[in-house]
Amino acid sequence: MIALFMIIGTIVLFYAMTFIYKRFTYPLLIPIFSTTVLLVIILVLSRIPYDTYMSGGKWINELLGPAVVSMAYPLYMHREKIFKYKTPIILSVLTALFSGLISITIFSKLLSFDDHILLSLLPKSITSPVAIPISEAIGGIPTLTAVFVIFAGLVGAIFGPVIFKVFHIDQAISRGLSVGSASHGIGVSKLAEYGEETLTMGSVSMTLSAIFGSFVCPLFALLI
């Protein structure tokens, strides 16, 4: 009973936040962020522990797996364009992966974060359904990773357009690839405003960075 209530509550709140975001499109109102903040506030105020919430939440969580599998479909639909630009795509996604991994490792060492935190930070640019199992596999804290991933996504959605302007990143492919491989789904959802080609490249790079990241992150973690 409680479980069903949690499921319905999450969906209703998410739906309401999506409606509000469409109305105002203010970047911080992005539904994944606002719904999470509201849910945490409601749960903490009504003294409901996370485990109780998850008795329902786990059923929503269960759909992440098939959602990742679904990304095969857009990849298949755009296979010709992807094969045409395969070299820049693969090289850019790898560049993004390593720039992210190396820079976050440097900052973690400078600020002397705990090793568990650094390991949880590593998969931050990879879409959550893949970042979470990677974090588990390399000894990070999956919940922290889930939140770091959201922050990395918000950076792309909020600062992406500014970065494009300041650094003259003005081609559809480079816009899509850079934000897609740095800020995954949340960044990609923002790319929709730049048209079909940018969006396609965004989802391609997000998928590829999830695939490459699954191999690269665990190897990189061994070096630390």
Smallest distance from another protein to CB 115, Å: 14
| Closest approach of another protein to the CB of residue 108, in Å | 7
Q: Which residue has the tokens 């003294």?
A: 47
Total binding residues toward another protein, as defined by CB under 8 A: 99
What is the SS3 assignment for 1? coil
* Residue from 64, 78, 81, 197 binding another protein (CB under 8 A): 64
Distances in Å between the Cα of 96 and the Cα atoms of 9, 27, 206 are: 37, 23, 11
Q: Which of residues 68-127 bind another protein (CB under 8 A)?
A: 68-77, 79, 85, 87-88, 91-92, 95-96, 99-100, 103-104, 107-108, 111, 113, 117, 121, 124-125
Site mask, another protein, residues 117-146, x = CB under 8 A?
x---x--xx--xxx-xxx-xxx--xxxx-x
Binding residues among 16-35 for another protein as defined by CB under 8 A: 31-32, 35
Given phi > 0 = left and psi -120 to 50 = alpha, else beta, which region is 25?
left
Residues 31-60 that bind another protein (CB under 8 A): 31-32, 35-36, 39-40, 43-44, 50, 53-54, 57-58, 60
* Angstrom distance (rounded) from CA 96 to CA 35: 29
Q: How far apart are CA 219 and CA 20, in angstroms?
A: 42
Candidates 76, 80, 81; CA nearest to 173 is 81
Which structure tokens are listed for 24? 């105002």
Q: Which of 119, 152, 199, 204 binds another protein (CB under 8 A)?
A: 152
Structure letter (DSSP) for residue 124: G
* 134 closest CA partner among 120, 148, 114: 120
CB of 144 to another protein, least distance (A): 6
Q: How far is the CB of 171 from another protein (least distance, A)?
A: 6
